[in-house]
Structure 1
Amino acid sequence: MPRSSTTLGLSDAKRMLDAGEAKAASIGVAYNIAIVDAGGALVAFARQDGALIGSIDLAIGKAITARLFDKRTSDLAKMAQPGAPLFGIEQSNGGKVVIFGGGLPVLIDGEIVGAVGTSAGTVEQDIAVAEAAAAAINEPGIIEERRST
């Protein structure tokens, strides 16, 4: 029997981008924010005016990495240190794995439905913007709206 799966759609991604951009504005840093679906494909991307050009690929890479490994990129960074169990993981997948904090899987009802990646500030700021974006689709009313469609 085929397994049904849920994935982020464009309306989810737009809601997430809005929340991420609002968080970025509140900390005063222009951001790059990427949203990927359950298959790791880019659904939406925003580059706020003035966001670092070099952070474009980092944001996208963080989102894809978070989905590929179903882990926060900040957790992967810890596990990739010399002597740690995943040392060298950033060389996998054609060297496109990004293990700086700011990427995280997005869950709905405990199921991973995609991921978000952010880049432009400090690691802590990147994590905060990513968390704000992810929280946007788990707000009261949003989950009920998704279930009814």
Structure 2
Amino acid sequence: MPLLSLDHARTILDAALKAGMEHTFKPLAVVVLDARGALKAFAAQDGTSLKRGEIARGKADGALALGIGSRAVAKMAAERPTFVAAATHAVGGSLVPAPGGVLILDGGEVVGAVGVSGDLSDNDEICAVAGIEAAGLKAETGA
């Protein structure tokens, strides 16, 4: 089973932050988790608002918990709010149903997730995908 290496996690983190700067997005927080949900890398740019790291973590946790990118979780929340509320409770409250939580795939297997928060959710997702692709891995947004 492929594993998400620390080198991959650092590449994802750096490339996601770089994408945000290149697009002149608001300051971002980026979380990279392995397939178990263990924290592999985290950074918050200067000027991020309070709790952005926790929001980014919730996007990544939700993607891993449900096995779909958080864009799909957001759609699910609109269509089945009771289920998403229950799932949020089941994972200890760390599930944010908004784009920006992206599954990391290697050879078709989920090896982790990235969560980004700080700008519009669509922009957060752009940065997460850029980071994953920079590491030579595949992104699953839930689109």
Q: What TM-score bracket applies, with the shorter chain setting the length? A: 0.7 to 0.9
- Taking the aligned partners of 1:94 and 1:119, their CA distance within structure 2 comes to 19
CA gap of 1:16–1:83, structure 2 versus 1, over 3 A, is closer
**Within-5 A mapping of 1:134-149:** 134-138=132-136
Question: Quick check: 61-70 or 30-39, which moved more?
Answer: 61-70
CA gap of 1:11–1:81, structure 2 versus 1, over 3 A, is same
| 1:6 paired residue number | 2
Q: Does 2:20 align with 1:24?
A: yes
SS of aligned partner of 1:107: strand
CA gap of 1:6–1:122, structure 2 versus 1, over 3 A, is same
SS of aligned partner of 1:50: coil
| 1:40 paired residue number | 37
Say which one has the larger Rg.
1
Consecutive unaligned residues in structure 1, runs of 5 or more: 140-149
**What is the TM-score when the length of structure 1 is the normalising length?**
0.83
Match of residue 49, structure 2, among 43, 47, 52: 52
| 1:116 paired residue number | 114
Q: When the two structures are aligned, how many residues end up with a matched partner?
A: 135
CA RMSD of the aligned region, Å? 1.7
Identity of aligned residues (%): 33
**Within-5 A mapping of 1:74-89:** 74-83=71-80, 86-88=83-85, 89=87
**Within-5 A mapping of 1:56-135:** 56-83=53-80, 86-88=83-85, 89-135=87-133
SS of aligned partner of 1:81: helix
SS of aligned partner of 1:16: helix
SS of aligned partner of 1:35: strand
After superposition, the C-alpha distances for 1:57-98 in whole angstroms (9 at most, x for unaligned) are: 001111122112221111111012255684423333122211
- Taking the aligned partners of 1:138 and 1:10, their CA distance within structure 2 comes to 14
Consecutive unaligned residues in structure 2, runs of 5 or more: 138-143
The AA in structure 2 aligned to 1:26 is E
| 1:147 paired residue number | none
